[in-house]
Amino acid sequence: MSEILDRPTSVLPSRFGYLMGLYAENYARLARLFAPHRLEAGHYVSDPGDGIQVHMHVLERHRYTLELDLSYGFVDERTGLPTPSAQLRMYTDAKQAEAWHCEPGRHLWQVLGPFPEARTVMQHRLRMNSFLNRWLEYLAEQGHSIGTLQRIDEPPKVRYA
């Protein structure tokens, strides 16, 4: 034990290491919850009967990458876009899932500014992926699952919050 304490490096993971761990946990939660890596591209709705539907749009499937949107069926009156929502990428080979955007209708430079510092970008990624992690946990607690997920033929109509 004293060997570990005598090392000059920290025993705790770096921010980057923590973020990569968060990506792995997000992948595991998302895979258990909805198994989007097994679904065809299209629109899906999960309704466990509590009145709050979760909408998932599998946008693109590539050999090792999957892009999807996850949101509730509510629309922000100010922006006219689904809220809350997250744009996700699943890396099936690395078993990682990241929220790469949580503010629909805005680009990252609009959120962080034109030339953000690396530290600012890292903090933003940590916030988005921590949000995704907690949201996926909450959805599982509310009864959402692959069993409550149904494919729909046309994009869902959304309600104003």
Domain boundaries, the chain: 13-151
Confidence of residue 160 (pLDDT cuts 50, 70, 90): very low
Over residues 23-36, the mean pLDDT reads: 97
C-alpha to C-alpha distance for 26 and 108, rounded to whole angstroms: 21
CB atoms within 10 A of CB 97: 29
pLDDT for residue 109: 61
Under a CB-based contact definition with an 8 Å cutoff, are residues 30 and 36 in contact? yes
Lowest mean pLDDT among 33-47, 93-107, 130-144: 93-107
pLDDT for residue 67: 95
C-alpha to C-alpha distance for 89 and 99, rounded to whole angstroms: 7
C-alpha to C-alpha distance for 97 and 155, rounded to whole angstroms: 24
CB atoms within 10 A of CB 31: 17
**What's the chain's average pLDDT?**
84
Q: Give the type of residue at 92.
A: T
- The residue among 109, 145, 108 whose CA lies nearest residue 128 is 108
Lookup: tokens for 74: 């509510």
**Strands 149-152 vs 65-72: parallel, antiparallel or unpaired:** unpaired
C-alpha to C-alpha distance for 13 and 20, rounded to whole angstroms: 10
Over residues 54-65, the mean pLDDT reads: 94
Confidence of residue 12 (pLDDT cuts 50, 70, 90): low
